[in-house]
Structure 1
Amino acid sequence: MKRALICGIGGQDGGYLARLLLEKGYRVAGTSRDIHRGPLANLETLGIANDVELLSMAPNDFRSVFTALVSAEPDEIYHLAGQSSVGLSFEMPAETLDSIVFGTLNLLEAIRLTERPIKFYHASSSECFGDLHGEAATEHTPFRPRSPYGVAKASAHMLVANYREAYGLFAANGILFNHESPLRPERFVTRKITAAAARIAAGSPETLTLGRTDIIRDWGWAPDYVDAMWRMLQIDEAQDFVIATGRSISLAQFAELAFDAVGLNWRDHVRNDESFARPSDLLWSGADPSHAMRELGWKASVPIEEVARRMVEADRAKGEAATKCEADAT
């Protein structure tokens, strides 16, 4: 039985990855800064909270990282931890750099010192590329990050490549483009849109406020993307891979899809506020995932239309369940 350690198991990707690995027969351990707060919500939502071992680990504390590795004895490590919001990184640049860069460095160094044949996956990011101006990114596209989050991810990406080349670690970067699901927190704009569409369809009089809706992104389905993570650690030699659908649409189009799913015109319920825009937002982001298709046999299976529909349906079901609970309580 293979053993996997998921650093950052509480997030969207951590939950879906844990479920995938359990289905494949792995023993799965996952880290959180404080496991004493109880099982993590996403693991409960997926019905796997009792099937994983939870460990406390602070990624920017080397002793904490080393202790977690010794305790878990993993064959594979999936590093998904760290500050994950691009917008928040503009407000907290130092904290973002600390959690992402030093968290990655501590894990790499702990693997090196344990001298065990551990395979390491690092969640790199499309934000490393910056604004691509209509050019689809590949593994060879230069990095030009335009946010503290992007700078931190680019730095961590290069650390992974350096440890692979200098110390012979099996260390791979997954350069993941945007990927969504109902497990996204509402601070992410896609979930903000789908949750609002569901509430408005249920009778809420609110108006959804967004920043720029002309930004263009490549959005995929998160469960597809954790499968790519696993595949990266099953090949003989570690490599870096761009993971994306290969198709980009605007945020306005995503909003249209979400409101279409509940039979509404998005323009009747959305307004723009320039104060919501980031200091240096990316206007166009897209990718060519052909390397992953060739080497991993991986391809995105869920188109963006279906992603939006599934997210709205999940938010509608959640709202209906909450309404029923309130009715039962009274």
Structure 2
Amino acid sequence: MLTVSGLTWALTIGLVVLLLAVDMVQAVLRPHRVGIGEATAWSVFYVAIAVLFGVWFTLEHGGDLGTQYFVGYLVEKSLSVDNLFVFVIIMSTFAVPESHQHKVLTFGIVMALALRAVFIALGATLLSLFSFVFLIFGLLLIYTAVQLFRHRNENPDVEDNLVVKTARRVLPIADDYVRGKLFTRDDGRFVATPLFLVLLAIGSIDLLFALDSIPAVFGITQEPYIVFVANAFALLGLRALFFLVKGLLDRLVYLSTGLSLILAFIGVKLILHWAHVDIDPRVPEVPTMVSLAVIVVVLVVVTVASLVKTRHDPSAKAHPGSLRAHRSRDEAGQRPESPPREPS
């Protein structure tokens, strides 16, 4: 059982908030197009922070808990790549100018962290009170894995998002991004800008991802502190990773298949843990090192297979996958709206 002092919690949260503040200041005060060099530097920085933290954590709390952290971080990092797919689709759907993409991603990460903090606290409380929650989490992950595999070649329909559709119905929306503002005045009316819709779309998508990622990392460790830091460090590097790999995402054609396999594996792991605790202690559990081996092998295989596939078939394009089938706007008999443009 991991015992974390209040001071350690405070210092950890302070570090996360400090790193977020740096991103926020850059996004709000210095909107700009993020180049490959800058994205690479920040990506290396955030990975280094996560690894150094893991080394300290392992030395401080032992190899078993350290392994749980690194496996949890790897799971969350791999799931965050699927987040990037959806972010790209949202940016494209709403034609977000490159100078504002930095801001959108930073606010999206803040919302994701806030939502996941709530789910971590709720999940940890439920798991400590009711062991059958492991069964519920396991079944949820297996269901998600099956749906993701079934619709692995689809993109989520951002415009069909309930939150976005409701906002369009109840709010007047400006025609352009108005220098990155969320709200503005148009002919004396207080109106929202398309950037506000983008943040709503990303926030609601973050909620769906939290529903999957939190049970997944609880399948690796039941320690709330490890769950929090694994999520935090995986998400903190997401903004830089977006600008670094957004041109390569189309080549990861088998990523959704790989993620569905990982989610199904962790779902089975959770169900075995529940059966071991509640039914019969002779039911085997999956060791953390086995989880690490399975996850690494799946990620390596799908990455190599994706690159080989796209090399022989350049027309093959990756998709983030969807949890439900949907019709395109054209199939539904609707004309897609013209994307908003930044005023010159």
TM range (shorter): under 0.3
Compare the two structures and name the one with the higher strand fraction: 1
With the length of structure 2 as denominator, give the TM-score of the two structures: 0.24
Mark the structure with the bigger radius of gyration: 2
By relative contact order (CA 8 Å, sep 6+), the higher-ranking structure is 2
With the length of structure 1 as denominator, give the TM-score of the two structures: 0.25
Compare the two structures and name the one with the higher helix fraction: 2
